[in-house]
């Protein structure tokens, strides 16, 4: 887990966070335990690395310089 922000203020507190298109707002989970609020915001499926198959024809050609 990588920490992006850690705060411990006293009293009433509010925070607004702008999410980029690479995050999945529908998958956000929140947990409040012992005075600590933990938010988990997953990376959107479209932003995750993926493998791309590369096809090739059987003919090999050489470029002459």
The Cα 10–Cα 46 span in angstroms is 38
Identify the pLDDT of residue 40: 92
In angstroms, the Cα distances linking 64 to 9, 60, 61 are 68, 13, 9
Question: Which residue's entry shows tokens 């995050």?
Answer: 23
Q: Is the pLDDT of residue 21 over 80?
A: yes
Question: Which tens digit of pLDDT belongs to each residue from 34-52?
Answer: 888 899 999 888 888 888 8
pTM above 0.85, yes or no: no
């Amino acid at each position: 887990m990588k920490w992006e922000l850690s705060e411990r203020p006293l009293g009433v507190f509010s925070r607004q966070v702008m999410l980029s298109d690479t995050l999945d707002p529908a998958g956000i989970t929140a947990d409040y335990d012992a005075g600590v609020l933990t938010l988990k915001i997953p990376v959107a499926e479209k932003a995750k690395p993926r493998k791309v198959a590369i096809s090739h024809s059987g003919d090999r050609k050489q470029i002459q310089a």
